[in-house]
């Protein structure tokens, strides 16, 4: 209704109310609408619906309905391999987009792969193997059109630290085998989550926790690069910031370590000699690293300023690798202490099916590491997939994504790959380069294959310093300072979760950071369900709308009545609190009103609109509330109980106790029935 007319109606109602205010309480009038009870459902249907909403809320089977057997078979195949569906509409125009984007992400992924393999303490070729097999499998099974699959920094770091905790000799063959084992079980975990439709479990890692975790991981990864960046030979194997900084400064000031320096001083040698002998920073290395890091950051900055020049940032790592490799080759800088890649094995992936530990002492560790890294990889991959799906507005089936990622890691673990997932930086480049479908992943995969077959020996002279620069430039994008500031602005609790995860990762370890993130996320849920809000409502002047008096200071309370709204389902975890909170509101209001000379409260109206569900504990709490109110000679009134609540109120016969005439469709109905004699400004 329009404002003017609304005003008139309101005025009319105001008059009506003042006229009716002399009515006695209790002369209940019939209302236009009774509180509705939905049709009763059988137990089977109820459980079925509940399970369906939990596990099959996207109704994956609806399309199979009323189809012929052959059609169902085709649909099932298409559902497992979406490429069969979108592949039929594939055309040359789409291929042009995919070819260009595929070539672009390939040029970005090869140098990143070689660098990330170091984070996992694996030889460079394993990351290249991963970038060959995983994208191929994903292209057939995945439903995202923009994601670029391959090894990523955070998962590589997570694998590197957890695997080396288990097997400290990172050069041993067992280490490699454990990596494949973990990859296999990561795939199994992901596949299981998808098949069992437990995809919602990854939703328990909150956005805030992920932002903090990623930022922490990025800082940790960047700090790890100081080894390659400064050319330090003896570097800590720990990842926490304290150990790393100690390593860096010990290398600068004292040489290998304090104990070594101490020995020298014990023997009364000149500590100056020691300093010179042991200074581990290598200036040639630093020169290369700084030069190329500057180059990479400048190109990133250019791409950021002008979205059309995204390709400048995309190919700059490849250029850096080529230029630096050539430079080292002609100057033979490797003889002056510049560390180089030295060896990348040529040839296509060997089978690793026999390498996986299916028994023995490392099986447990493999499963544990696999589950953790599988979950982290999934979280990252699905988050990226969702981001780009939203940008292009297509549906991403979370459970299908999990099955695709699970399959690609299981296949990967049999073909010498380690855990792959969607890379944020490469997916963004893929998107900007105009990819249309997952074919861009196939193009990238083919390029990586050609690289493996033909040009890996050329990487021999690639300096580690340039790889460190590439990693630093790549992971800096994961520190999303704007997002952290936004967290602070929007939700302080989220900010705490974020900073907790961040500090956990950089001061302790990746797993501890993850643990903190999950723990804080759960704590938040628990607080939410234990301490829901109970608001006091008042009437907005000139309307029949009742709102929280804290949000609407103009809202006026009703004489002789207290209206409260319970802002949550009433469950065992909060039923006692809600009951006590309502009674406390009543006592406080009563004290205040008595002090102000207003009549005592005779009616307590509970607005039940937000109470979507109630369990037996909640029913008991309501019953206890009713009894407590009876003792205080206050009538309990319920307004707008929802379908499930009203059904349970009926089932428990609580409606008989409270009285059907005390249950109203709206608060306004309750107020009009139980005679407001005026409004109270409390």
Question: CA 541 to CA 546: how far, in whole Å?
Answer: 9
Residue (126 or 495) nearer to a copy of itself, CB? 495
Select the residue interacting with a copy of itself from 574, 605, 635, 655 (CB under 8 A). Answer: 574
Q: Report the chain's terminal Cα–Cα distance, integer Å.
A: 31
For residues 391-420, which are near a copy of itself according to CB under 8 A? 391, 393, 395, 398
Interaction of residue 286 with a copy of itself, rule CB under 8 A = no
Site for a copy of itself in 372-391 (CB under 8 A): 386, 390-391
The residue from 420, 569, 606, 638 that contacts a copy of itself (CB under 8 A) is 569
Give whichever of 329 and 552 is closer to a copy of itself, judged by the CB atom. 552
Does 96 interact with a copy of itself (rule: CB under 8 A)? Answer: no
Contact between 682 and a copy of itself by CB under 8 A: the answer reads: no
List the one residue from 25, 57, 96, 233 that touches a copy of itself (CB under 8 A): 57
Q: Where are the alpha helices (DSSP H) in 477-613?
A: 481-490, 492-503, 510-530, 575-596
Counting every residue written for the chain, the total comes to 682
Contact pick of 107, 316, 320, 573 for a copy of itself (by CB under 8 A): 573
CA-CA distance, 338 to 466, in Å (whole number)?
11
**Residue number, 64 or 262, with CB nearest to a copy of itself:** 64
**Contact with a copy of itself (CB under 8 A): which of 246, 345, 460, 547?**
547
Tokens 């008991």 belong to 620
| Residue closest to 488 by CA, chosen among 480, 498, 475 | 498
Which parts of 341-370 interact with a copy of itself (CB under 8 A)? none
When asked if residue 635 is in the footprint of a copy of itself (CB under 8 A), the reply is no
Q: Which stretch binds a copy of itself (CB under 8 A): 66-74, 440-448, 468-476, 550-558?
A: 550-558
Q: Choose the stretch contacting a copy of itself; rule: CB under 8 A; options: 144-152, 203-211, 233-241, 363-371.
A: 203-211
Site for a copy of itself in 143-202 (CB under 8 A): 200
Q: What is the DSSP string of 93-130?
A: HHHHHHHHHHHHHHHHHHHHHHHHHHHTT--HHHHHHH
Site membership for a copy of itself, residue 204 (CB under 8 A): yes
Rule CB under 8 A: is residue 665 a binding residue for a copy of itself? yes
By CB under 8 A, tell whether 455 contacts a copy of itself: no
**Smallest gap, in angstroms, from Cβ of residue 16 to a copy of itself?**
5
- DSSP tag of 641: -
Name residues contacting a copy of itself, limited to 643-662 (CB under 8 A).
643, 646, 648, 651-652
CB 339 to a copy of itself: min, Å: 42
User: Hey, which residues does 639 pair with through a beta bridge?
Assistant: 607, 664
Q: How far is the CB of 635 from a copy of itself (least distance, A)?
A: 16
Give the nearest distance from C-beta 540 to a copy of itself in angstroms: 5
Question: Any alpha helices (H) in 393-452, and if so which ranges?
Answer: 398-414, 424-432, 439-450
Residues 113 and 445: their CA atoms lie apart, in Å, by 12
C-beta of 305 vs 489, nearer to a copy of itself: 489
Residue 580 interacting with a copy of itself (CB under 8 A): yes
Euclidean distance between CA atoms 673 and 677, whole angstroms: 11
Classify the C-alpha dihedral 119-120-124-130 as positive or negative: negative
Cα–Cα distance, 614 to 175 (Å, whole number): 53
Using a 10 angstrom Cβ sphere, with 0-12 exposed, 13-18 middle and 19 or more buried, the burial of residue 454 is exposed
* Token pair belonging to 680: 């109270």
Contact indicator for 196, 406 with CB cutoff of 8 Å: no
Q: Which of 32, 272, 330, 481 is in the footprint of a copy of itself by CB under 8 A? A: 32
450 binds a copy of itself (CB under 8 A): no
Q: According to CB under 8 A, which residues from 461 to 500 bind a copy of itself?
A: 486-487, 489-494
Given candidates 60, 87, 477, 542, which one binds a copy of itself under the rule CB under 8 A?
542
At closest approach, how far in Å is the CB of 631 from a copy of itself? 4
**Nearest CA among 216, 143, 154 for reference residue 504:** 216
Q: Using an 8 Å Cβ cutoff, are 461 and 334 in contact?
A: yes
Q: Is 545 in the site for a copy of itself (CB under 8 A)?
A: yes
CB 310 within 8 A of CB 429: yes
Q: Other CB atoms closer than 10 Å to residue 565's CB: what's the count?
A: 22
CB 328, min distance to a copy of itself, A = 45
Q: Does 559 bind a copy of itself (CB under 8 A)?
A: no
Of 48, 346, 554, 600, the residue at the interface with a copy of itself (CB under 8 A) is 554
Q: Which 291-330 positions form the footprint of a copy of itself (CB under 8 A)?
A: none
Asked if 77 is part of the footprint of a copy of itself (rule: CB under 8 A), the reply reads no
* Residue 41, number of CB atoms within 10 A of its CB: 12
Identity of the residue, 96 or 554, whose beta carbon is nearer to a copy of itself in the bound complex: 554
Binding mask 207-236 toward a copy of itself (x if CB under 8 A, else -) reads xxx---------------------------
CA separation (Å) from 327 to 109, 463, 466? Answer: 22, 9, 11
Distance of CA 489 to CAs 214, 482, 528, Å?
A: 19, 10, 20
Hey, which residues between 509 and 528 contact a copy of itself (CB under 8 A)? 521, 524-528
């Amino acid at each position: 209704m329009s404002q003017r007319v609304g005003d008139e109606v309101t005025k009319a109602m105001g008059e009506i109310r003042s006229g009716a205010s002399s009515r006695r309480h209790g002369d209940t009038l019939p209302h236009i609408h009774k509180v509705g009870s939905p049709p009763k459902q059988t137990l089977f249907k109820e459980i079925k619906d509940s399970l369906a909403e939990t596990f099959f809320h996207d109704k994956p089977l609806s399309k199979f309905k009323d189809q012929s057997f052959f059609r169902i078979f085709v649909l099932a195949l298409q559902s497992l391999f979406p490429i069969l569906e979108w592949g039929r509409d594939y055309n040359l125009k789409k291929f042009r987009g995919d070819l260009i984007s595929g070539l672009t992400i390939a040029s970005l992924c090869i140098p990143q792969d070689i660098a990330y393999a170091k984070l996992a303490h694996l030889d460079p070729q394993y990351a290249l193997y991963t970038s060959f097999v995983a994208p191929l499998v994903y292209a057939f099974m995945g439903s995202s059109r923009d994601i670029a699959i391959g090894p990523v920094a955070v998962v590589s770091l997570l694998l590197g630290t957890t695997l080396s905790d288990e097997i400290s000799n990172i050069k041993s063959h067992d280490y490699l085998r454990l990596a494949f084992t973990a990859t296999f079980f990561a795939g199994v975990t992901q596949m299981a989550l998808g098949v069992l439709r437990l995809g919602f479990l990854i939703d328990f890692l909150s956005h805030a926790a992920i932002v903090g975790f990623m930022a922490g991981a990025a800082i940790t990864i960047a700090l790890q690069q100081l080894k390659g960046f400064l050319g330090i030979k003896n570097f800590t194997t720990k990842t926490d910031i304290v150990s790393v900084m100690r390593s860096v400064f010990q290398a600068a000031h004292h040489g290998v370590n304090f104990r070594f320096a101490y020995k020298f001083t014990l023997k009364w040698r000149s500590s100056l000699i020691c300093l010179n002998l042991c200074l581990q920073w290598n200036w040639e290395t630093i020169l290369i690293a700084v030069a190329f890091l500057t180059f990479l950051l400048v190109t990133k900055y250019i791409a950021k300023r002008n979205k059309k020049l995204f390709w400048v940032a995309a190919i700059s790592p490849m250029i850096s690798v080529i230029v630096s490799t050539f430079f080292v080759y002609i100057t033979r800088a490797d003889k002056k202490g510049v560390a180089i890649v030295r060896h990348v094995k040529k040839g296509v992936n060997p089978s690793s099916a026999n390498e996986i530990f299916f028994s023995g002492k490392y099986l447990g560790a493999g499963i544990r590491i696999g589950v953790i890294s599988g979950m982290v990889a999934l979280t990252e991959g699905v988050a990226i997939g969702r981001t780009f799906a939203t940008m292009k507005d297509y549906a991403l089936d979370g459970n299908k994504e999990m099955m695709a990622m699970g399959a690609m890691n299981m296949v990967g673990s049999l073909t010498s790959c380690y855990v792959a997932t969607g890379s944020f930086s490469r997916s963004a480049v893929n998107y900007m380069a105009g990819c249309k479908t997952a074919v861009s992943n196939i193009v990238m995969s083919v390029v990586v294959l050609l690289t493996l077959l033909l040009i890996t020996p050329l990487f021999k002279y690639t300096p580690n310093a340039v790889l460190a620069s590439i990693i630093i430039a790549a992971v800096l994008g994961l520190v999303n300072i704007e997002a952290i500031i936004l967290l602070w602005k929007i939700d302080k609790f989220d900010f705490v979760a974020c900073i907790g995860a961040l500090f956990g990762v950089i001061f302790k370890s990746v797993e501890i950071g993850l643990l903190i993130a999950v723990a804080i996320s759960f704590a938040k849920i628990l607080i939410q369900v234990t301490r829901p809000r109970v608001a006091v409502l008042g009437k907005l002047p000139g309307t029949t709308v009742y709102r929280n008096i804290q949000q609407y200071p103009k809202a006026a309370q009703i004489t002789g009545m207290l209206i409260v709204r319970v802002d949550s389902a009433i469950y065992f975890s909060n039923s006692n609190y809600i009951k006590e909170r309502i009674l406390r509101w009543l006592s406080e209001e009563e004290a205040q009103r008595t002090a102000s000379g207003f009549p005592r409260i005779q009616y307590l109206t509970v607005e039940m609109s937000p109470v979507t569900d109630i369990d037996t504990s909640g029913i008991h709490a309501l019953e206890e509330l009713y009894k407590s109110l009876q003792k205080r000679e206050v009538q309990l009134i319920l307004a707008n109980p929802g379908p499930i609540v009203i059904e349970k109120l009926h089932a428990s016969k609580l409606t008989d106790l409270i009285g059907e005439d005390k249950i109203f469709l709206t608060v306004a109905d309750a107020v009009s029935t139980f005679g407001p004699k005026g409004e109270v400004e409390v």
